[in-house]
Amino acid sequence: MTTPSRPPSISDAERHQRLDHLRQTMPASGIDAILLTPGSNMRYFFGAAFYESERFVGVLITADRTIFICPKFEESAIRAKFPMIPDMVFWEEHESPFALIASMLAGQSCQRCALDPECSYGHAARIGDALGQLDQPIRFESAAAIIAPLRATKSVHEIDLMIAAMQLTLSVHKTIFEWIRPGMKASQVIAEIDRLHRAGGADGGNSFCAVQFGEATSHPHGVPGDPALQEGELILIDTGCTIDGYNSDITRTYALSKLDSGVEKLWQVEKQAQQAAFDAAAIGTPCENVDKAARDVLVGHDLGPDYDLPGLPHRTGHGIGLDIHEGPYLVKGDQTPLAAGMCFSNEPMIVVPGQYGIRLEDHFYMTAAGPNWFTEPQQDLYRPFG
């Protein structure tokens, strides 16, 4: 198996630039402060992964300050994990962090505060209650419209990390194709894919893995059970990993022996739909047009329309980065114009209910000249890697 070289991690300098861009967007939106909570947004701006618990942790960003809010007893761990944040305030176990946040915002004379859209409802409700009890209530809203556009356009360094993750997962797919044989259980294949990802230098093993055989391939995300591969069954494997938090996500659908001509025909239709979506991706084109291009191919072969089956039961693609699924999306109704740096899956799956499904999934990133593939798409049902 080929192991790609690991690119450098995102630098503190680039993260400071992200914060500068965030601050630059705040005045136009009328936002005085943004409160980030654990999740991928916090990781995007500050580098380390952190997960929400019942004890509130967050970062308050104003025009001139970046303030980490955390339990006092966690101070040493937080300072080690987030060395780029020197300004911290603490709350003790008997105190309310939500009242602390409200008093901080009032002290900064804030009138509007935008909250991380990944914050849980429980914490968001308590923050809202605390803000509502102030003498001058502070308007409380989502920061999604501010943060999402910043994250949608990836830097060269982010794309390099995803290229490495994608190339590793493609190499794992190749190795599995050479190894897999009838009689193997899905769980065996998943375990081997996990081992290969770990050996190749991923952050951990699989970030996810779906291995489906035969009729199970007609269920987009699989069904419970641990079947063994039978002679003559279609194989669908969808898996990925992360490198420095950035995701890969690749699906291959193939067979080890000759299949019915109907399967072969629809495999080619799937290939055409994936290529049509790629060809439709041009700078300034609305995301939904890429989805339409794939569906037009399917309709031309009496599949669909829309989400009708046999046909494509879901969107053509999703954005990808620190989250495996993130906006914008290649789906009807998403009119976001394609811009350089945006990254998407391209997976216009064909499902024949009760029989089989075919999904070819690769990703592309937008450049000023148009889309570039992260990985070379599959070219043949029986020779998926040439």
pLDDT digits (tens, 9 = 90+) for 89-124: 999 999 999 999 999 999 988 999 999 999 999 999
Residue that has been written with the tokens 């630059």 in this structure: 24
State the average pLDDT over residues 270-279.
Answer: 98
Instruction: Give residue 108's pLDDT.
Output: 87
Rounded to two decimals, the pTM is 0.95
Count helices and strands in the chain by DSSP H and E runs = 10, 18
Sorted by where each begins, the domain ranges of the chain are: 12-151, 153-373
pLDDT band at 86 (very low <50, low <70, confident <90, very high): confident
Strands (DSSP E) contained in the chain are: 33-36, 58-62, 66-71, 88-91, 112-115, 139-142, 208-213, 235-240, 242-243, 246-247, 250-254, 317-319, 326-330, 343-346, 350-352, 356-358, 362-367, 370-373
At 296, which helix (H) or strand (E)?
helix 287-299
pLDDT band at 85 (very low <50, low <70, confident <90, very high): confident
User: 153-373: CATH homologous superfamily?
Assistant: Creatinase/methionine aminopeptidase superfamily (3.90.230.10)
What is the architecture, at CATH level 2, of domain 12-151?
3-Layer(aba) Sandwich (3.40)
pLDDT digits (tens, 9 = 90+) for 214-267: 999 999 988 899 999 999 999 999 999 999 999 999 999 999 999 999 999 999
Q: Do domains 12-151 and 153-373 have the same CATH topology?
A: no
